[in-house]
Amino acid sequence: MAQKRKAQILKKIESSKKETQEIDNFDKNNLNKFNTLLKAFLDKGTINRAVTVSDSAFNIIKFDPKGKIIKAEVKGSKDAPYNIEISINDKFIKHNCHDFQTNRAENKKFCKHLAKLFLLLKKKNEKSASFFLESITNEINNWDFLS
């Protein structure tokens, strides 16, 4: 029993270190194009909440810069996963978490799930992730943030 608890504690410490490192990297790289673009969509504290979402909670179904579309699912507090769809051609971001629906979409801001999605996409291909953010930013008034 003590060994199991020790393993849990060590895992939690490692997870906390990783979260702190992600936040530090995000803060240090302020001049980085990706970070500047992402920050435009975040309220204070959103990045702190985003890094607490597990990478494994995400299923990136489609990340297609040529087709200009992103589709993903993220496990949340509900039984069914939340859906995320972003289309540059149709100029919409569609996401169905409660925070996005009730607090963020109206002000064209990202919730923790969208912030984390872009952090994950940055790891895959920073140039393409920046392309999506820049496309949204350049024509923000023509974009719909839908629930």
pTM: 0.79
- Residue 81 contacts residue 74 (beta carbons within 8 Å): yes
Residue ranges per structural domain of the chain: 2-146
Residue in the structure block whose two tokens are 């949204």: 136
Q: What is the pLDDT of residue 15?
A: 66
Q: What is the pLDDT of residue 4?
A: 76
Of residues 64, 66, 121, 72, the one with CA closest to residue 95: 72
Q: What is the pLDDT of residue 58?
A: 96
Q: For residue 12, give both structure tokens.
A: 């939690």
pLDDT in tens, the chain (147 residues): 667 776 776 676 776 666 666 655 555 554 588 988 999 999 878 988 998 999 999 999 999 999 999 999 999 877 899 999 999 999 999 999 999 999 999 999 999 999 999 999 999 999 999 999 999 999 999 999 998
Query: Could you tell me how many residues make up the chain?
Result: 147
Q: What is the pLDDT of residue 137?
A: 94
